[in-house]
Amino acid sequence: MDTQVKKLGLKERYAAMTRGLGWETTYQPMEKVYPYATYEGIKIHDWDKWVDPFRMTMDAYWKYQGEKEKKLYAVIDAFQQNNGFLGITDARYVNAVKLFIQGVSPLEYYAHRGFAQVGRHFVGEGLRVACQMQSLDEIRHYQTQTHAISTYNKYFNGMHHSLHWFDRVWYLSVPKSFFEDALTAGPFEYLTSISFSFEYVLTNLLFVPFMSGAAYNGDLATVTFGFSAQSDESRHMTLGIEAIKFMLEQDPDNVPIVQRWIDKWFWRGYRVLTLVGMMMDYMLPKRVMSWREAWEIYGEQNGRALFRDLARYGIREPKGWLDAIDGKDHISHQAWNTFYNYNAAAPFHTWVPTDEELDWLSAKYPNSFDQYYRPRLEFYREQHRAGNRFYNKTLPMLCTVCQIPMLFTEPGDPTTICYRETDYQGDKYHFCSDHCKEIFENEPEKYVQSWLPVHQIYQGNCFKPGVDPTQPGFDPLMAVFDYYDLDFGRDNLDFEGSEDQKHFAAWRGQALQNTV
Amino acid sequence: MSNVFIAFQQNEEARPIIEAILADNPHATAVESPAMVKIDAPNRLTIRRETIEAITGTPFDLQQIHVNLISLSGHIDEDDDQFTLYWKH
């Protein structure tokens, strides 16, 4: 027997592992087996035109993923064994990790489910294989993040009920509703929303400068899971741009459909990233770059190159592009202000930055910080020192689409809050921007079903069973926190005076000195 | 003209890859940040297997770059010997 088998080249290997694996069904018609492949109006004439340019095959996939896992878990083990958390710059940093486990990791799980589902509904095998790999990547990210962050959960507040909070707490409805919007779309819209708009255009902003920031702040565990996830992300981004090219090249009728999805999902993703902007500018004690700089490198420069390249298909920049650029001087400061105000209702801590940090923000935001945001923070600090730390006890109005409180200002006018509204079937709906309004108006049947946390609280749906709001002395906000399982005074309120602050100071003191 | 970019973790496995890229692409520039290196290049950037192998003295499978890759931008053309990022327009 001849055992000398010539090894296939990359391109042949890819063809062998992704082509000719499917079949035409006979017991049932194809359109009944793949009902979602056509109903969005996207026309595909030749599924085999789909090619993964990395030409990753399942065998190579397992090999490299296995290597990544071994490296990652060695770091996580070392971090935990050696109390690596004591080496972070400052306990304030941990609040960024809290936001990550509360608001980002659950999205990884949603992405796992989403790719499993759309992989089932695409007809071509190449695309199905790519979706299968991504579905596995995403559950890996959810697991590795949970494992890496569990070491912090042993020592700090604000992480013990993160999944419970994801389904209930007001600001977490922002990422949650974003992903549920994508999951309930058709398979091609899902690819445009997650693979293209989120992964290709926006995800660098989350994982690259922020994770580099984690490294800068001594958080080995986070930077390692972040970059380990990001190595998969490069594949996902490539899936995103290939998905767009594939749809656009298959039929000219696909162009306007895809353009509307790009408009919608660029804006949806950009709004979610407000949280990341705030993490970068306010929650990293040592900063690598400002949100504005990261936006310019990874959003503007990269986005411009991309849309210039896609222009040959008749695709233009997303409609919200210029408003997003206008927002780079403002959104992180406006978001931090909102969380500072509503910190009684949020299971992480906020604070007024130190003078040195305020100076850094002044230097990084020469067009906006001193004029609009610094005086407000200094006023808060003065009030706090006088014993009047302000906590807002009213509930904010939310945008029906992005579910963010109405905190953003008019493009070109940072002193006026931006409000939009529309009427639909006798009810009035409110929006933070022209773009969220337009998204609603394209699909009102979908967004009238939004689970808006503030509305739900006012309707009495956010109290524990058996709570009687008519009792004398009933405190509705405390009843909501109880429903959240938020440990009042430990998970929430200002960092100054928090248990996290005291514990970290004591533990670090023990790490640096011998006690008798 | 637009830039393509590729970013790697800053570690011993990625070091020869980065060296090879900078040797093969004189128009490329490397920017270091904590824990990472980002390489920008106008229009086009190529990674060659042979250059990496010449640096390390061991066989290299180009798909090994996935282990330490952080991010990239541009269209991809890959075979067993080279990996290219480019913009068409």
**How much is the pTM?**
0.93
Query: In 10 A of CB A100, how many CB atoms?
Result: 25
Mind listing the pLDDT tens digit for each residue in A278-307?
999 999 999 889 999 999 998 999 899 899
Collapsing DSSP to helix, strand or coil, A423 comes out as strand
| pLDDT exceeds cutoff 90 at A181 | yes
Q: What ipTM does this complex have?
A: 0.86
A84 neighbors A78 (Cβ within 8 angstroms): yes
**In a domain? residue A400:** no
Could you give the CA distance from residue A109 to residue A90 in angstroms, rounded to a whole number? 30
A222 neighbors A98 (Cβ within 8 angstroms): no
Cβ–Cβ of B33/A64 closer than 8 Å?
Answer: no
Q: Between B34, B70, B80, which is nearest A9 by CB?
A: B80
- The pLDDT value given to residue B33: 87
> Pairing between strand B44-48 and B3-9?
unpaired
The closest alpha carbon to A101, from A155, A165, A52, A57, belongs to A165
Task: Determine which of B17, B32, B36, B86 to mutate to test the interface with A (most A C-beta atoms within 10 Å).
Answer: B36
Mind listing the pLDDT tens digit for each residue in A86-112?
989 999 999 999 999 999 999 999 999
A350 neighbors A339 (Cβ within 8 angstroms): yes
Q: Give chain B's radius of gyration (CA, Å).
A: 12
**In a domain? residue A448:** no
Helices (H), A167-286: 173-183, 187-190, 203-216, 220-250, 254-272, 274-278
A347 neighbors A165 (Cβ within 8 angstroms): yes
**In a domain? residue A162:** yes
Mind listing the pLDDT tens digit for each residue in A418-445?
999 999 999 999 999 999 999 999 999 9
B7 neighbors B72 (Cβ within 8 angstroms): yes
- The pLDDT value given to residue A1: 53
* CB-CB neighbors (< 8 A) of B63 in chain A: 10, 54, 56, 60, 64
The closest alpha carbon to A311, from B45, B40, B87, belongs to B87
Write out the residues of chain A at the interface with chain B, using a CB-CB cutoff of 8 A. Answer: 9-11, 53-56, 60, 64, 67-68, 71, 204, 207-209, 211-213, 215-216, 223, 227, 230-231, 233-235, 237-238, 241, 288-289, 301-302, 304-306, 308-309, 311-312
Task: Return the domain boundaries, chain B.
Answer: 3-86
Residue of B nearest to A60 (CA): B63
A195 neighbors A239 (Cβ within 8 angstroms): yes
- The pLDDT value given to residue A13: 85
| pLDDT exceeds cutoff 80 at A516 | no
A406 neighbors A397 (Cβ within 8 angstroms): yes
Q: Is A496 exposed, middle or buried (0-12, 13-18, 19+ CB in 10 A)?
A: middle
Cβ–Cβ of B70/A311 closer than 8 Å?
Answer: no
**In a domain? residue A461:** no
Cβ–Cβ of A308/B67 closer than 8 Å?
Answer: no
Query: Which CATH number, 3.90.56.10, 3.10.20.30, 3.40.50.620, 3.30.420.10, labels domain B3-86?
Result: 3.90.56.10
Mean pLDDT, range A438-462, rounded to an integer: 96
**In a domain? residue A405:** no
Question: Confidence class of residue B89 from pLDDT cuts 50, 70 and 90?
Answer: confident
Could you give the CA distance from residue A387 to residue A233 in angstroms, rounded to a whole number? 47
Cβ–Cβ of A212/B35 closer than 8 Å?
Answer: yes
Amino acid at A511: A
Task: Determine which of B13, B38, B78 to mutate to test the interface with A (most A C-beta atoms within 10 Å).
Answer: B78
Mind listing the pLDDT tens digit for each residue in A215-238?
889 888 888 888 888 888 888 988
- The pLDDT value given to residue A3: 62
| pLDDT exceeds cutoff 60 at A399 | yes
- The pLDDT value given to residue A53: 83
A182 is written with which tokens?
Answer: 């994508």
Residue of B nearest to A68 (CA): B67
* CB-CB neighbors (< 8 A) of B40 in chain A: none
Residue of A nearest to B64 (CA): A64
* Phi, psi of A77, deg, nearest 5: -60, -50
**In a domain? residue A260:** yes
A193 is written with which tokens?
Answer: 């929303």
**In a domain? residue A29:** no
Residue span of the structural domain in which A278 resides = 57-395+486-512
B27 touches chain A (CB under 8 A): no
Cβ–Cβ of B69/A11 closer than 8 Å?
Answer: no
- The pLDDT value given to residue A377: 98
Residue A505: give its domain's CATH number. Answer: 1.10.620.20
Collapsing DSSP to helix, strand or coil, A472 comes out as coil
Collapsing DSSP to helix, strand or coil, A28 comes out as coil
Mind listing the pLDDT tens digit for each residue in B13-48?
999 999 999 999 999 999 998 889 999 999 999 999
The closest alpha carbon to A187, from A29, A25, A19, A39, belongs to A39
Rounded percentage of chain B residues whose pLDDT exceeds 70: 100
Sequence-ordered list of residues with C-beta below 8 angstroms from that of A63, at least 6 positions apart, any chain: none
Residues written for chain B: 89
**What is the tally of structural domains in chain A?**
1
- The pLDDT value given to residue A4: 66
A230 neighbors A208 (Cβ within 8 angstroms): yes
Mean pLDDT, range A405-411, rounded to an integer: 97
* CB-CB neighbors (< 8 A) of B69 in chain A: 230-231, 234
Cβ–Cβ of A309/B76 closer than 8 Å?
Answer: no
* CB-CB neighbors (< 8 A) of B77 in chain A: 53
Could you give the CA distance from residue A196 to residue A242 in angstroms, rounded to a whole number? 9
- The pLDDT value given to residue A314: 96
Pairs of residues, one from chain A and one from chain B, whose beta carbons lie less than 8 Å apart: 99
